[in-house]
Amino acid sequence: MNEAIKDEAERKQVTVLFADVSGSMDLAEQEDPEEWRAIMQRFFSTLADTVTRFEGTVDKFTGDGIMAVFGAPVAHEDHAQRACYAALQMLEDVAEYAGGLRRERGLNFSTRIGINSGEVVAGAIDGGGGSSYTAIGHTVGLAQRMEALAEPGKAYLTETTAELARGYLDLRDLGEFEIKGASRPVHVFELAGVGEARSRLDLARERGFSSFVGREAELARLDHALARAKEGEATAVGVVAEPGIGKSRLYLEFAQRCRAEGLEIFEAQAQAHGKSIPFMPILQMLRSFYGITDQDAEQLAREKIAGRSLLIDPVFAADLPLIFDFLGVPDPERPVPKMNPEGRGRALGDFLCRLVSNPARKKVLVLIVEDLHWIDEGSQMMLNGLVEGMEGTPTLVLVNYRPEYTPAWAESGVYEAIELQPLTPADTAQLLRDLAGEDPSLDGIDEPIHARTGGNPFFIEEIVRELAESGFLLGERGAYRLARPIEDAGVPVTVQAVLAARIDRLDHISKQLLQVASVVGKEMSVEALRLTARLGEVEIEEAIAQLIGSGFLYEAEIYPQRLLAFRHPLTREVAYGTQLASQREATHAAAARAMIELEPPDRHDELAALIADHLKQGGETLEAARWSARAAHWAGHSRPRDAMRLWHEVMELAGQLEENEETDALGIASRLAQIQFAWRVGMDLDEQAQLLREAEKIADRRGDLHSLVLLKMSTSARPGLQQHTDEWIQQVEEMNELADQAGDPHLQVAIRAAGAYAYLVAGDFDGYDRALDEMIGLTGGDIRVGSGIILNTPLAWAHMGKGMVRREQGDLEGAEPYFERALEISTEADDPETASWIRSNQAGLLAMRGDVEGALSIARRNCELTQRIGDVFSRSLAIANLAWAELAAEEFREALASIEEADKIYREAMKVGGEMEGWRSQIRAKALTGVGRVDEAIEEAEWAVKVSRERGLNWSLPIAQLALGQALHAGGREKEALGVLDEACCVAERTNALTCVAEIEAERDALASAAG
């Protein structure tokens, strides 16, 4: 078996109880040691028996007391209640024995109990002389402190236990106490007795029920069964479902309807710790049938019993002594003959049967027995007898239970089962509206909560409560608003307890397999599971069958491969959380190896991020860094945000490793890549500067010229720097030289491609064209040369650039084929980023050619496609080009909205306007003119002209001047307009921007004809 699942220790949610017999030290002196030992022995066995009775584990004897754990090794969903019930019982038993000792020997004994709940690590500890099971953790220490704090004869518990036991037990608030070893004061409670609540639903009632949703079909079936019972056709219905799905609530709603109709209903409830209290549910039922309360005096109770029984049929007179006795009100005048427990059980069962099936009974009887899976044997036998004998009477027996139980009468003709399903997504949404409210901030929580809880209403309620308690939701029940995203919210301890108890009922191997599965993923192939768990085929098939049968996993797919998935994400979280960190680590590493082994190499790129994550969690840092780098490469330029995140991860992982050639290389590559993504998606300037410094330091140490050139390029010659184009171009030329010195054609091409952009922005179209030609020459036509270093596909970019030169220089016809070719190359290279830029420019070209519809359609589609890439640079560009197309279509309002959006997203991410700010600004000016906001248009255009001039952005300068001319014209300032246009014309002629010149002339003509 896998070493990962050898250590049997687990993390568990438990309740720890300490009990000691106080004052024992000075008492020891008064007694003969032998006597003393016998007395203590008796105390210990009293305490230990009680622990066992409530299915706890005696962890150890402490010298003058015991430590007990409830909820380990086998989890109990009611561990806190069990511990409290046990404590009450201990106090009572000890008081009784101590009372005797006081009377008979004058000795004073009392016990103190301390209780606390929380996580422990439970498992075998080898102390040299063989191993023993024990629980370890802060939770244990705090329980002991509670014991030390408790007054003699009292049990104290912490707020954590109180939270779980509240309602079921009566607690007295003692306030907060400073406790040694606890970082903050602990709220302490005294255990005062048994509480009112018997079930979760009682608790829910106290808190106020959530409004009832769905379940129409189930209620209809119950109505139908009732109708049959009324006809004298006795019927038994069983509602079957996992805990929390709403079995009890369904009956509650149904019972209310019945009561409204005036029907009599008698209810009983089996309890988790109830197997040790025989006949409890039957007792409850009979008490409610006879209408007896705890306050009734014995005589009154007997009268009620006799009255009702005899009213049905005088023959029951003979049974009365037995019933009195059974219900705890024996008649001193008519004692019951001695019987063994079995005989007694039979006699009672027989009575019950006759009572129900008595032909004299005319009224419909509705009996509800809840949670049959917990019923004790005696009650079960009685119930079986009752159902067998009820035929032909107006009786409706309603029971419910969990899927692991099957009632004896499952095959009987009078019985029908209703498998209660989880809530539908719509029902969940409705329940959430009731619990959380309808604040807009809550939009979108329905789906994740439904997925996380699998539509289990109890889990939904608890999660909402937990979210409110831990500050994810603010406000009040039914009127919350979301304060932060809910993804990282924990699993409520109440839900954990239920799920852990279910998991612990599995076979050993199935349970371990479930834990392995929880590490592998929420979905996994059987093969991956087998390899990770290192189990044999037969073993694993058996375990899988059990896990599927008991609803933990389901077959998500059987072809082409068998995939298993968790039915319930919370189960996965709990199964994951119960494992020791060391064990999880080994399983993660094994899962990664299984994945690498099983998956065909051509899927490795796609799975690299997942494999890396397993490796990281498995503590294999170097492998994790390598696989993350692979994943980052793969995400590359089609998912820049993912790539950025993955490179960051590589950097962190490499940073944890010893310095060597490989880790240095990873350290540089990861930083360089992040810097490359900075101008695409934005990054804090300080963070960028730090990345540069760190990368430079490593590159210097390594003498890595290649990386140093790229780093220098990033500091001095990348887009988004607010420098003058003269300076930019000078830097680019230096970079080209450095790259040539390094002598790597990839680097030369990468640097030239990126640097060429400076000429375009400076309006030096010929320089741009030359740089591109030189670069194309260096690639030798190979699209891979220099790709992915700065730009994804330099060759595609070069063709686009040449198209732009044609477009700007008036050769609109000649531009198109370049764009077409560029698109082909980018498609071949699978490069959506460059494709986005090309389409942006194509839209502009069509706008210039007057094909307004074509321009709009390409621009819109481009926005849609670019959105998927997820970066800012391309998206801003695509939206700005849409604005351009909208201008051409004279959709000025739309154009204004688009350009403002484009500018906003750029500035928000980059904190500056970048090299395109003058260009975006002139579009905004034109749009403002279009919508008639002329003053603003003039101001905007003046600004566009100003920045373009100041920073040598000569590509946008004449266009901005044209925009200003148009705005002035619209404002009736023709003369000034003419002056600006003349200037624009000079600039455009100087840069040979002939398309622009033509536009300026057209505007001048318009102005002249308006004046003339």
CB of 173 to ligand ADP, least distance (A): 24
Answer yes or no whether residue 450 interacts with ligand ADP by CB under 6 A: no
Answer yes or no whether residue 826 interacts with Mg ion by CB under 5 A: no
- DSSP letter at 211? P
Q: Pick the stretch among 115-123, 160-168, 241-249, 444-452 that binds Mg ion (CB under 5 A).
A: 241-249
Radius of gyration of the chain (CA): 40
Nearer to Mg ion, 400 or 779 (CB): 400
Rounded Cα–Cα distance for residues 307 and 301 (Å): 10
The encoded tokens of residue 493 equal 């301890």
CB of 405 to ligand ADP, least distance (A): 13
The secondary structure of 823-864, three-state, reads HHHHHHCCCHHHHHHHHHHHHHHHHHCCCHHHHHHHHHHHHH
- DSSP letter at 587? H
CB of 67 to ligand ADP, least distance (A): 32
Answer yes or no whether residue 617 interacts with Mg ion by CB under 5 A: no
Answer yes or no whether residue 245 interacts with ligand ADP by CB under 6 A: yes
CB of 281 to ligand ADP, least distance (A): 15
Q: Pick the stretch among 210-218, 445-453, 702-710, 716-724 that binds ligand ADP (CB under 6 A).
A: 210-218
Q: x/- site string to ligand ADP, residues 248 to 287, per CB under 6 A? A: xx--------------------------------------
Answer yes or no whether residue 368 interacts with ligand ADP by CB under 6 A: no
CB of 250 to ligand ADP, least distance (A): 7
One of 57, 248, 515, 578 touching Mg ion (CB under 5 A) = 248
Rounded Cα–Cα distance for residues 51 and 849 (Å): 89
Footprint on residues 930-949 left by ligand ADP (CB under 6 A): none
Nearer to Mg ion, 458 or 955 (CB): 458
Answer yes or no whether residue 215 interacts with ligand ADP by CB under 6 A: yes
DSSP string, 117-153: EEEEEEEEEE-SS-EEEEEESHHHHHHHHHHHHSPTT
- Spatial contact of 430 and 213, defined as CB atoms under 8 Å apart: yes
Q: Alpha-carbon dihedral of residues 671, 676, 677, 678, nearest 10 degrees?
A: 90
Reduce the DSSP state of residue 154 to 3 states and report it.
coil
Q: Pick the stretch among 247-255, 403-411, 564-572, 927-935 that binds ligand ADP (CB under 6 A).
A: 247-255
One of 76, 145, 200, 706 touching ligand ADP (CB under 6 A) = 200
> Which partner in ligand ADP, Mg ion, none is near 249 (CB below 5 to 8 A by kind)?
ligand ADP
Total number of residues shown for the chain: 1012
The encoded tokens of residue 107 equal 């000795």
Reduce the DSSP state of residue 701 to 3 states and report it.
helix
CB of 68 to ligand ADP, least distance (A): 27
The secondary structure of 479-526, three-state, reads EEEECCCCCCCCCCHHHHHHHHHHHHCCCHHHHHHHHHHHHHCCEEEH
CB of 428 to ligand ADP, least distance (A): 10
Q: Pick the stretch among 211-219, 226-234, 373-381, 590-598 that binds ligand ADP (CB under 6 A).
A: 211-219
Answer yes or no whether residue 455 interacts with ligand ADP by CB under 6 A: no
CB of 204 to ligand ADP, least distance (A): 3
Answer yes or no whether residue 802 interacts with ligand ADP by CB under 6 A: no
Q: What angle do CA 92, 97, 101 make, to 5 degrees?
A: 140
CB of 480 to ligand ADP, least distance (A): 17
Tell which residue, 524, 511, 467, 526, has the closest CA to residue 491: 467
Nearer to ligand ADP, 249 or 630 (CB): 249
Answer yes or no whether residue 210 interacts with ligand ADP by CB under 6 A: yes
The pairing of beta strand 365-370 with beta strand 264-269: parallel
Nearer to ligand ADP, 156 or 254 (CB): 254
One of 88, 241, 698, 738 touching ligand ADP (CB under 6 A) = 241
Nearer to ligand ADP, 494 or 725 (CB): 494
CB of 213 to ligand ADP, least distance (A): 4
Nearer to Mg ion, 108 or 406 (CB): 406
- Spatial contact of 172 and 163, defined as CB atoms under 8 Å apart: no
Q: What angle do CA 613, 616, 621 make, to 5 degrees?
A: 135
Task: Tell me the CB-side half-sphere exposure of residue 262, using CA atoms within 13 A.
Answer: 1
The encoded tokens of residue 427 equal 């029902």
**H or E element that contains 40:** helix 33-53
Residue whose beta carbon is closest to Mg ion: 248
Question: Residues in the site for Mg ion, rule: CB under 5 A?
Answer: 247-248
Question: Residues in the site for ligand ADP, rule: CB under 6 A?
Answer: 200-201, 204, 209-210, 212-215, 241, 243-249, 431, 457-458, 461
